[in-house]
Structure 1
């Protein structure tokens, strides 16, 4: 059986790449397709140093740093991949990978991290943050996103089975494509984070500093609570904006190597998370270290953290992405902190291990392949 794995773009090692890594653990002989591949020679271990078939975008000017500017051409790019010789196609998609063209006797399973966020329900936020909500450039961007939505909805018909990375994304898939999706949570290296029961008196947040992560809100909230210490790890476009809001009790460390991050997570009193994420890998990582979580109660966080109304709570939620709401959550956490068992946090994180991901994914694929084989002789198609 020939297998192809289609990825949106290969430029770094982040959440979707960790899924790709595990898919290659399951299917080491699979061929990889991606719109661009700009992984440095020393950082290709997670794809087993395999060659990657890329699209014409790979050779366009500045595609290494400005690949996102070619988004209008990416639907055309993925449609040019010739997958006709493959029996099983697995797309790992948060943008365009699911749009590859497949035939009636091929099985296409798409693991969706999210439908294209900036083309669907987050369009207005994206345009505003990019300064494209007004003027001629804004009109062009809106038209491009309109065309992207039409293409994205149409190409959902080419997917035989959807897998979503959370129940939250399954709802988004149904809203966008009117298709059901089987939930398989993404793989998290829970054993990499050391458990710590001797917590220190500081709160922690770590993230790339981009607008939707809302790190500025967390910093502003703790600056309003000068008796509480906050440590912030991460860098990104919003770093100076965040720094300008930091009080004396807020320490910005910038980028730190993984070994240091692990130590800070292990010893933190609680991890603070204010984004509306599709899943939230950093939340699982904090829980695996036995660290309670104070999280915005939307998106994937609700599927990871066990709130105070559960039998073995692992954290607490706040309802709004505002400074007062975060301040209130921290105060509530300190009043109920003794009800959270650090060992319960660690056990909770085990639900999201890499081994569990591989087992669930392989079982799903094997089941669908079995249905395909059973139906092909009689009908020539599969469901």
Structure 2
């Protein structure tokens, strides 16, 4: 069968692209499609060097750096991809990829990282962070997001099966599309990290410094705990806010190569996480190193971290995105750190390995394909009716 894999856009290699990489490992013969493709050679190597067939947005001005400004055009663009020659379509979608046009004889399975976040339940947060609360630009943005919601819900009806990357996203799918989904957690390279039972006296957070990650809030919390040391790895538009806080007990390292990131994860006393993530790969990578997690208790981390109510805890939850709550979370962790073992953290992380993802994904797709295309039963020689030549021979033997 001919297979097509569709991804929203290819600009950087992040969490959604790790899923895409795993899909291409399972089905390396698949053709790849995307709204735009500006991956670097280094990032493309994770996709086996494969280039995507793109849309007209690829050739619009500044599409490489300001592609999100073309969001209103993306439904039109994704619908222009001609997939009529494919039997199986797998979309990897957090925006528009699931909206590709398919026919009744094609099987479309959509792996959903999230329904379009800024068009559904996070619309008001997005408008606030973008400074679009008032004025003409705000009205235009709200109209565009309203259109995106209508299009997103309508195109959900053409998907044959939804796969959610967590139970949290499964509930979002049900809320937005009124459709059931199957949870298959994303792949995490647990083998790329090793268990380190002996820890050093510092806390760590690693993240792209974008607003919803709340990195400045973590820095501010540790500024209020001068006896504790925090190391921050990552870069982005929120870096200036972190630097302006002037926390002398916080070390801002900016971007670091993977080898350095892994060493800091292995040796950290605890990993601090403040985002409400759909899944959240970083907390799982920390646990793969045997490092406990102190996390905001909403979203995917509730499924990837075992709290203190578990018989084998791997971290501590705080339940409000605030400086005071993070401080309380760190203190609760220090009071209960003796209950959390590096081995328990590592064993929990193994639940999300790449091998597990590939096995579950392949089994799901093959099972669904076989439902649509049951094998034709061919009678065995023993059960097939026998053709006798005796009547013909008898007729031939009669005299004329």
TM-score by length of 2: 0.93
Matches within 5 A, 1:196-345: 196-345=196-345
Q: Any conservation in 1 of the 2:37–2:51 contact (CA below 8 Å)?
A: no
Gapped regions of structure 1 (runs ≥ 5) = 378-383
Secondary structure in 2 aligned to 1:53? coil
- Find the counterpart in structure 2 of residue 194 from structure 1: 194
Task: Provide the alpha-carbon RMSD of the alignment.
Answer: 1.2
By how many angstroms is 1:42 displaced?
A: 4.1
Answering whether residue 128 of structure 2 is matched by residue 158 of structure 1, we say: no
Q: Any conservation in 2 of the 1:286–1:292 contact (CA below 8 Å)?
A: yes
Secondary structure in 2 aligned to 1:185? coil
How far does the alpha carbon of each residue in 1:267-291 deviate from its partner, in whole angstroms, 9 at most, with x for none? 0000000100000000000000000
How far does the alpha carbon of each residue in 1:77-107 deviate from its partner, in whole angstroms, 9 at most, with x for none? 0000111110000000000000000000100
Secondary structure in 2 aligned to 1:11? coil
Answering whether residue 132 of structure 2 is matched by residue 132 of structure 1, we say: yes
User: Quick one: distance in 1 between partners of 2:229 and 2:42?
Assistant: 38
- Find the counterpart in structure 2 of residue 351 from structure 1: 351
- Find the counterpart in structure 2 of residue 46 from structure 1: 46
TM-score by length of 1: 0.97
Secondary structure in 2 aligned to 1:77? helix
Matches within 5 A, 1:147-186: 147-186=147-186
Task: Name segments (4+ residues, structure 1) moved above 2 Å.
Answer: 40-43, 374-377
Q: Over alpha carbons, which structure has the higher Rg?
A: 2
By how many angstroms is 1:133 displaced?
A: 1.6
Gapped regions of structure 2 (runs ≥ 5) = 378-400
User: Quick one: distance in 1 between partners of 2:376 and 2:326?
Assistant: 55
How far does the alpha carbon of each residue in 1:147-204 deviate from its partner, in whole angstroms, 9 at most, with x for none? 0000000000110000000000000000000001100000000111122111001100
Q: 1:41 to 1:332 in 2, by over 3 A?
A: closer
By how many angstroms is 1:47 displaced?
A: 1.8
Q: 1:59 to 1:273 in 2, by over 3 A?
A: same
User: Quick one: distance in 2 between partners of 1:41 and 1:209?
Assistant: 24
- Find the counterpart in structure 2 of residue 380 from structure 1: none
Q: Any conservation in 2 of the 1:220–1:246 contact (CA below 8 Å)?
A: no
- Find the counterpart in structure 1 of residue 66 from structure 2: 66
Q: Any conservation in 2 of the 1:219–1:246 contact (CA below 8 Å)?
A: no
User: Quick one: distance in 1 between partners of 2:282 and 2:259?
Assistant: 15
How far does the alpha carbon of each residue in 1:216-235 deviate from its partner, in whole angstroms, 9 at most, with x for none? 11111110011111111111
By how many angstroms is 1:45 displaced?
A: 1.2
- Find the counterpart in structure 2 of residue 96 from structure 1: 96
User: Quick one: distance in 2 between partners of 1:168 and 1:351?
Assistant: 17
By how many angstroms is 1:376 displaced?
A: 11
User: Quick one: distance in 1 between partners of 2:373 and 2:79?
Assistant: 26
